[in-house]
Amino acid sequence: MKKKTGDPKQRLLDTATTLFYNQGYHATGINQVIEEAGVARASLYLHYESKESLLLAFLNQRHIDWMAGLKSFTDEASKPKDKIAAAFDFLSDNNEREHFRGCAFLNILSETTEKDTAVLTVIQDHKKDLRAFLGEILTNEKQLIKDHVYLLFESAIVESQLYRNQWPVQEARKMALGLL
């Protein structure tokens, strides 16, 4: 029993966010969630139908927060090229703050089977939104350039998680800007 501020539902979501993201979904037990949230076991099921529904809540919230973070970085720039640079800087920033745990959605994707359609959909929707977001910045570019930037952006996340190092972000940033 650790956290005690905020309402139980929020505490559960916050705790699940930390644990699912840092340990993985299957490696995180409900016990640990309720214990660290400081909430009774049954209270979890009062607010969330199941462990999976807590996972979905986590992913949905993460989507909102992450996209907002990205937007706040790109909003600082005005020209498309600068916005793209800012987007990569957002990744650097994330890596520092979150110790190179990579993309929450891709991580969960790895634990996801064809059967988990609800989860898969949330993940795909997140990435579609990201792809669209980058595409809108590069509205005057051809589709292949848009996707090229998107794919570099994705590798930057994955590879910096893999190597626990910022070089993939920095290199991918340089490559992406070189395309524009």
Partner DNA sequence: AATGAATGAGTATTCATTCAT
Partner DNA sequence: AATGAATGAATACTCATTCAT
Residues that bind its own copies (CB under 8 A): 22-24, 26-27, 99, 102, 106-111, 113-114, 123-124, 127, 144, 147-148, 151-152, 154-156, 158-159, 161-163, 168, 171-172, 174-175
Minimum distance, C-beta of residue 159 to DNA, in the bound complex (Å): 29
| Backbone CA torsion sign across 97, 99, 104, 106 | positive
Q: How far is the CB of 63 from DNA (least distance, A)?
A: 22
Contact, 108 vs 16, CB < 8 A?
no
The tokens for 26 are 């299957």
Residues in contact with DNA by the rule CB under 7 A = 7-9, 26, 28-32, 39-47, 49-52
162 binds, among its own copies, DNA, none (CB under 5 to 8 A by kind): its own copies
Instruction: Give least dist CB 5 to its own copies, A.
Output: 27
Q: How far is CA 111 from the centre of its chain?
A: 15
DSSP at 2: -
Query: 163 near 116, Cβ under 8 Å?
Result: no
**What is the closest distance, in whole angstroms, from the C-beta atom of residue 64 to DNA in the complex?**
21
Q: Check if the beta carbon of residue 130 is closer than 8 Å to that of residue 67.
A: yes
Nearer to its own copies, 47 or 148 (CB): 148
